[in-house]
Amino acid sequence: MAASKLLASTLRKTLTTSSSFRRFSTAAAEAVAPASEPEDSMTIKGVKISARPLYLDMQATSPVDPRVLDAMLPYYLARYGNPHSRTHLFGWESDQAVETARSQIADLIGASPKEIVFTSGATESNNISVKGVMKFYKEKKRHVVTTQTEHKCVLDSCRHLQQEGFEVTYLPVGNDGIVDLEKLKGSIRPDTGLVSVMAVNNEIGVIQPMEEIGEICKELNVPFHTDAAQALGKIPIDVDKWNVSLMSLSGHKIYGPKGVGALYMRRRPRIRVEPQMNGGGQERGIRSGTVPTPLVVGMGAACELAKKEMEYDDKRIRALQERMLNGVRAKLDGVVVNGSVGRRYAGNLNLSFAYVEGESLLMGLKDVAVSSGSACTSASLEPSYVLRALGVDEDMAHTSIRFGIGRFTTEEEIDRAIELTVQQVEKLREMSPLYEMVKEGIDIKQIQWAQH
């Protein structure tokens, strides 16, 4: 008893001390610079940065919309009950909040709330879909069809199945990143248990022909799964028009919190999966574990906002993308857009800069937060497997930069990003002997390089 009183007293003192309160307040989300450095500079991971960089990496993650945070906070501070507690108000109100969020997500994709299963994110949803379906139907179905440009978690799930004796067809894509529908149809066999194709590619933003793929799968009676993490809230989704059986969704790509996702599972005709996690049987036994009410509420609120603002966001983001591309191309030659120009999500602009080494360009652009591809594989120095699948030359694949534009991106940020990118590319090209040779009219592809 005395210990608990002491703890309570200490906690009250901590919370009422102004300096401590500031440390734990939401306003303290920004990194605090060491006292020895100027207020507007910081050093992190050995890199000195003059100020917080512009954020243009929306495919990696998006900031939480303040309206989403407002919806979440009560479920951290006052309504903190376990949604699976059935005997008191705290559990009831959390359960009600979870079901509201389930309805908000279902509404955005044209589904029934009963078809939404909460997970920790799109990676878990993809694992449940690919491995769960094939293991459930393993007696009759031993073959999966997917594409070479899928997210790494889908490709790794397929490789895991191959180690267990399943067969996988990895379909190539065209130079524009779009899958060939005839090749897709021709690859489906009587023992094919799943077709998995990503709706919007995370690296190049290409939108696959989802309705046509769905028609093929419906005609041949094969379940169709799509990783729609990059599509949710960005492009219109209708699970019936797409004829998907399973769809993986993520919260933090649509201005919601990290650590929460969802899996759409069609009820008619019903799709079955083998659970990949054992436990208390929550989420109809498909995904055991306590549903995190604040995170789920945040994802639901983000989906509701996305439905209301999708058209406005798309128009605005499209204008910013055009401003970015035109601004860069007006000052630099040798700039290539990777992936289809006509069939892509406007917020993803993946560019390659000829005669520039990508890692050097990234390091030089430390005042702009961008990436060279998927955040899940950005530690690798290998050129992007997605760009290689498009047939992009290795030297150009090494020079790719993905600019991610979102709801809170401003024209001023785009203009500054153009200025910094142009400066850095020009600086690196000045040091490139290859660029000097090209300017002199030499076709470097015809040169026979001698080995020493």
CA nearest 171: which of 156, 151, 152, 149?
149
State yes or no: cis peptide before 38, omega within 30 of 0.
no
Cβ atoms within 10 Å of 169's Cβ, excluding its own: 18
CA nearest 421: which of 348, 340, 373, 358?
358
Q: d(Cα 127, Cα 218) in Å, to the nearest integer?
A: 22
What b-and-e string marks burial along 24-33, b requiring 16 or more CB atoms within 10 Å of the CB? eeeeeeeeeb
- Is residue 173 within 8 A of residue 390, CB to CB? The reply is yes
> How many helical (H) and strand (E) elements, i.e. helices and strands, does the chain have?
16, 14
Q: d(Cα 188, Cα 143) in Å, to the nearest integer?
A: 9
Q: d(Cα 60, Cα 69) in Å, to the nearest integer?
A: 19
Beta bridge partner(s), residue 147: 171
Q: d(Cα 441, Cα 452) in Å, to the nearest integer?
A: 26
Catalytic residue among 153, 158, 303, 376: 376
Residue type present at position 64: V
CA nearest 197: which of 266, 148, 131?
148
Name the token pair of 341: 């120009």
What b-and-e string marks burial along 307-317, b requiring 16 or more CB atoms within 10 Å of the CB? eeebeebbebb
Query: How wide is the angle at C-alpha 272 spanned by C-alphas 121 and 178, nearest 5°?
Result: 60
Name the token pair of 181: 């529908």
376 catalytic residue (yes or no) = yes
- For the stretch 430-434, contacts whose Cβ atoms lie closer than 8 Å and that sit 24 or more positions apart, written own/partner, are 432/355, 432/356, 434/355
Q: Sign of dihedral through CA atoms 130, 211, 374, 144?
A: positive
Q: Which residues are annotated as catalytic?
A: 376
